[in-house]
Structure 1
Amino acid sequence: MTLETLFEDFKTKKIIVLGDVMIDAYLTGRVDRVSPEAPVPIVNFSKREERLGGAANVALNLISLGAQVTMSTVIGQDKEAETMLQLLEEQAISTSGIIRSKERQTTVKTRVIGNHQQLLRVDQEQTNDISTSEENALLSDLENLLKSGCDALIFQDYNKGVLTASLIEKVIDLTKQYNVLTTVDPKLKNFLAYKEVTLFKPNLKELSEGVQMKIDFAKEPKQFERAIEKLKSIVQPDIVFVTLSEHGVFIENKESKHHILAHKRTISDVSGAGDTVISVATLCLAAGVKIETLAAMANLAGGIVCEYRGVVAIKAQELFDEAKKLGIKC
């Protein structure tokens, strides 16, 4: 397989993204004075922007790389849900796996920006676990999606209540039944619940908290190795893939393990880099490339998006050009 055929193969993949979606809203304006009512800046409002965030940003990355994507989640029956559905449909992300519940609030994170600086963030969210009826409805829709055929399912967890321990277990059973690959971008609450998935991708901090071990990758590599062994003994994934920030990434399966160094970059914003990494890793996994190629491509993609301010999706052409320049082999 060449890079050219790999990127063409991305366009044939059908991916389900299951997890917590949110709207990232931005209120932007100028600050020229301080309020007489309290020692706070007055923002002279100029525009409002709404973007897809959370698990929906993973879907955006997959769409950007040419894949066909279905979003699976639970949102509210509020006006924010209407905005969410509109944003997804504008990006050609299927909403057929979305459950709307009057018991649920759609998550919105609103950032107030004045003179190009974030002054405040206001979160509208509900983080308790979804109800049994919501879980059953989501599971029913998911089984129909899996029956109709897909290549991989991504668990994208932001601790907002969609990915309950029981749902995780039931979905993993279903994916095995329908022979669908599973990849995980975990959070602490249900970190050890993703048993026997295909690929498990924590960052170093999540790994440390998840297995309850202090890890200094640079100074104590043996401790890192012990943490990986502990994780494997509990979760038993086919592949462990850990992002290590400035130290690159680590990947291991039964046959081999690799440490891929980070590329030198001018970092503007690390927000959303994990979303990009799991998206590229999943597509590479579905394409059947070697794990060292998967790690190299995902590591490269995560670095590229860090050069942009704000949460952005990876551009397929930019990733292809850099991979070609670096001589990444498939």
Structure 2
Amino acid sequence: MTVPQDKLQLRADQFSHIKTLVVGDVMLDRYWFGRVDRISPEAPVPVLAVQDEQVRAGGAANVAHNLLALGAKSTLLSVVGDDEAGREIKQILNQHGAQTILTVDPGIKTIVKLRMIAQNQQLLRADFEQKPSEEVLAQCLSDYQLAVNDADVVILSDYGKGGLTHVATMIELARQAGKPVIIDPKGSDYSRYKGATLITPNMKEFEAVAGTVTSDADFGAKAQALRCELDLDYLLVTRSEQGMSLFTRDGDQVNSPATALEVYDVSGAGDTVISLMALVAVSEFTNEQKLTLANTVAGIVVGKLGTAVATIDEVIEKL
């Protein structure tokens, strides 16, 4: 089934009543913007003359930021180091209105991704990362048990950095509390996500788990088999220029074409999609409308450079 192009309307306060809990790997995205006009005399590499520096909340923190931009309430639970990057993440999110439960692990440094960009082209990315300690992760699980009861929906943002070591227990606790659980997965072991409401792999991630897709029919069969195996209500596969496909518990497959007119940067697009899907999971929309909205927010954010968000006003305008 392909989504019909019906008129879909949102209000500016559409999601303002929804309380979300975001758990996962947070990071600080640093950007150095500049120009390259020469090659280094020391080695055959470009010399970036830095003209501007920016910092943005990345990873699970970007999910929280996207939820706020769409008008919802958001609480972020994660781990940071006792350093300036961790404090910057907290400050950015607090400025945007998020509540934060950030456990400080003095034994690690906050994850930082540094991107160097010239003339809107990324030259290099440098990653600084360490995994949290077991003691700190146990504290996070304890905090989660308290926070989950106040949320309408839970988003688990897995970047494979260790913050979701207890993801299976988190899913179980959320479902016991009657809360939908939306997950952006990572890695090849999806058994840890069993029982979630929805997971949102991209096509590359999906094929790494389900096997190479050889046809549309094969794609549908593999997707429904994975959804059944993991006991999911929904499986959403994002397929780049082919749009998105949503597989449901009743056996339906809903397809929606991509809407982006121009793609500048796909970094963070998955954060935007999972944020939207979390909000519509506790709202009155049809599956076709959910997919239309997901494609709309994705089309907005890939048209921006760097880690970005889609605001509710932008979504209304694009619709």
- The question of a shared fold, defined as TM-score above 0.5 by the shorter chain, is answered with yes
Q: Confirm whether residue 201 of structure 1 aligns to residue 200 of structure 2.
A: yes
Runs (4 or more) in structure 1 with deviation over 4 Å come to: none
What's the CA shift for 1:264? Answer: 5.7
- For structure 2, the 5+ residue unaligned runs are 1-7
Per the alignment, in what secondary structure is the counterpart of residue 194 of structure 2? coil
Matched, 1:48 2:46: no
Q: CA deviation at 1:115?
A: 4.3
Q: Structure 1 residues 308 and 172 mapped into 2: Cα distance closer, same or farther (>3 Å)?
A: same
Shift, 1:189, TM fit: 4.6
Moved more, 237-246 or 10-19: 237-246
Once the two structures are TM-superposed, the CA of residue 101 in structure 1 deviates from its matched residue by: 0.5
**1:49 to partner: Cα distance:** 1.1
The reply to whether residue 106 of structure 1 matches residue 115 of structure 2 is no
Identify the residue that residue 185 of structure 1 maps to in structure 2: 184
Task: Give the corresponding residue for 1:20.
Answer: 25
CA distance in 2, matches of 1:294, 1:33: 48
Q: Is the 8 A contact 1:159 1:189 kept in 2?
A: no
Report the Cα distance in structure 1 between the residues aligned to 2:26 and 2:189, rounded to whole angstroms: 17
Equivalent residues of 1:55, 1:156 under 8 A apart: yes
Identical columns (%): 35
Structure 2 residue matching 1:233: 3-state secondary structure:
helix
1:233 to 228, 232, 257: 228
Q: Which residue of 2 aligns with 1:141?
A: 143
Q: Is the 8 A contact 2:29 2:307 kept in 1?
A: no
Which residue is 2:238 aligned to? Answer: 243
For residues 79 and 299 of structure 2, what CA distance do their matches in structure 1 show? 31
Residue 39 of structure 1: CA displacement? Answer: 2.4
AA at the equivalent of 1:161: G
Q: TM-score, normalised by structure 2?
A: 0.91
Question: What's the offset of the Cα at 1:190?
Answer: 4.1
* Structure 2 letter corresponding to 1:178: A
Aligned to 1:157: 158
Distance 2:123 2:70 in 1: 33
- Larger relative CO (CA 8 A, sep 6+): 1 or 2? 2
CA contact (8 A) 1:27 1:113 kept: yes
Q: Which residue of structure 1 aligns with residue 258 of structure 2?
A: 262
Q: Please say if 1:221 is aligned against 2:234.
A: no
Aligned residues: 311
Comparing 179-188 with 35-44, greater Cα deviation is found at 35-44
Counterpart of 1:304 in 2: which secondary structure? Answer: helix
- Quick one: distance in 2 between partners of 1:310 and 1:132? 32
User: What letter matches 2:192 in structure 1?
Assistant: A
Which residue identity is paired with 1:3? Answer: Q
| Displacement after TM superposition at 1:16 (Å) | 0.8
TM-superposed deviation, 1:34: 2.8
Q: Which runs of 5+ in 1 are unaligned?
A: 324-330
